[in-house]
Amino acid sequence: MIKAYLEENKDRFLNELFDLIRIPSVSADPKHKDDMRRAAAFVKDKLLAAGLDAAEVIDTAGHPVVFGEKIIDSAKPTVLVYGHYDVQPADPFELWHTPPFEPTIRNERIYARGACDDKGQFYMHVKAIEGMIAGGNLPCNVKVMIEGEEEVGSEHLGTFVAENRDRLKADVILISDTSIINNDTPSIESGLRGLSYVEVEVTGPNRDLHSGVYGGGVENPINVLCRMIASLKDEQGRITIPGFYDKVAELSTDERTELAKAPFDEAEYIHDLGLNAVAGEAGYSTPERTSIRPTLDVNGIWGGYTGEGAKTVLPAKAHAKISMRLVPNQDPDEITELFSRHFQAIAPSTVTVKVMPHHGGLPYVTPTDSVEFEAASKAFEEAWGKKPIPTRGGGSIPIVALFEQELGIKSILMGFGLDADALHSPNESYGLFNFFKGIETIPYFYKHYAELKK
């Protein structure tokens, strides 16, 4: 639909994306507050330049939301595009081969923080919309909502959505923040895991102690934290928090067989990640463990002396950040409550424990027999020459369940990333192929959706 336009404007598209990437819009870090605003303003400008009738930066109690729209005909279906302009922190910096906020092309891939997650991905939509408007063939109304807090839990988006229900009225939400199986095997994620995230603090003595004078007589909070964390999973890889699995919707054998059709090369997976072996919940395959089963991971742990050399301290405190990925129908608030209660209960009497909840997110599954899903499937078929495989994703996009709850709108996860993009890691990247192929594919969604909704 817009292939010619794309060809003519490739370089400009890429340069604009690079300019966006260069703004270090790290939502988790207060010292990047101004960069967040700069990025929002940039996105707004580009939406207007793409041809939207209106676009603005809307303040929230946190980072602003960018909203823009072009209404062509109220009788046509309306597509609401969602993305986020904020990115993960880039540390550890020393592991990046090129600076994280200076996009560099190597092996036909763009290396930078946010190259894929989510700037490269959402910007494809801005360019696809531009292409359709320039070609005079935008078949649906389009609204674009790009927020700035996805990486820190979209804390203020719920309020924004509740306060802007009319403005956000649409028939489908289109999101590019997921991946395809590989560049020869397009796929659409039909499900996302939910998230429960907590920070725990274990306190022993009221100050750091000399581990010779007190070691052996005073319980060490680090040793205790390790014991408590170790007890959270049993030898089968199952989480031991009472009630944790109660609401998990087990997949039927048929469903598992269907999902197992998606190609997965475990030897390559192991090789690519430099592992000796995979491991996880007994009775499930690796793709199942990373999509349809809930998990528990320690994302960070610290306590005592961690600098150079040796220090014989018995520290007062030990800390950890722990998150759990959830599946339907687990509820993040309930899981966080179960975790907190259990973690307090297993704490030995020698320490005091604090559990501080962070953001959570509901798990989400979208029906593969909907008009929306079919439009996306046809878009891939037309642009790629093959039907996409439905997959269940491991990651979370908490806002998706929120959208359905608050706006009654389903989301289609039409992402173009790859596992090799190394989201959240150093040396994140996005393929030039994927960026341009996405721009080419997206308009077909609009085309087919308009047709199917007639």
Catalytic residue (one of 118, 130, 149, 150): 150
Cis peptide bond N-terminal to 118, omega within 30 = yes
Select from 72, 371, 422, 450 the one that contacts a copy of itself (CB under 8 A): 422
Minimum CB separation from a copy of itself for residue 249, in Å?
16
Q: Which amino acid is at 135?
A: G
Catalytic residue among 69, 86, 177, 189, which? 86
Nearer to a copy of itself, 287 or 390 (CB): 287
Give CA–CA dist 349/336, Å, rounded.
Answer: 22
Name the pairing type of β-strands 194-203 and 78-84. Answer: unpaired
Instruction: Give least dist CB 261 to a copy of itself, A.
Output: 18
Tokens of 443: 């308009």
Residue 354 lies near a copy of itself (rule: CB under 8 A): no
C-alpha 154/C-alpha 332 separation (Å) is: 14
| C-beta of residue 133 within 8 angstroms of C-beta of residue 140 | no
| x/- letters, 94..133, toward a copy of itself (CB under 8 A) | -x--------------------------------------
Does the protein bind a copy of itself through residue 75 (CB under 8 A)?
no
The answer to whether 150 is a known catalytic residue is yes
Residue 312's H or E segment, with its range, is none
Annotated catalytic, 86?
Answer: yes
Long-range contacts of 274-279 (CB under 8 A, 24+ apart): 279/237
C-alpha–C-alpha distance, residues 119 and 97, integer Å: 20
Q: Within positions 375 to 404, which residues make up the interface with a copy of itself, using CB under 8 A? A: 393-396
Is 345 in contact with 334 (CB distance < 8 Å)?
Answer: no
367 lines the binding site for a copy of itself (CB under 8 A): no
Q: Total binding residues for a copy of itself by CB under 8 A?
A: 102
State yes or no: residue 213 binds a copy of itself (CB under 8 A): yes
The yes or no reply on residue 282 touching a copy of itself (CB under 8 A) is: no
**Residue 311 interacts with a copy of itself (CB under 8 A)?**
yes
- Using rule CB under 8 A, residue 413 touches a copy of itself: no
**Vertex 322: Cα angle to 194 and 221 (nearest 5):** 160
Q: Interface with a copy of itself includes 249 (CB under 8 A)?
A: no
Query: Segment 166-185, which members bind a copy of itself (CB under 8 A)?
Result: 179
Contact mark string toward a copy of itself, 143..162, x via CB under 8 A? --------xxx---------
Count of CB atoms situated within 10 Å of the CB of 114: 33
Residues 194, 200, 201: CA angle, nearest 5 degrees = 170
The mark string for 182-201 relative to a copy of itself (x by CB under 8 A, - otherwise) is: -----------x-x-x-x--
Cross-strand pairs, 431: 109
Q: Which residue has the tokens 């994280």?
A: 100
User: Is 93 one of the binding residues for a copy of itself (CB under 8 A)?
Assistant: no
Question: Which residues are designated catalytic?
Answer: 86, 150
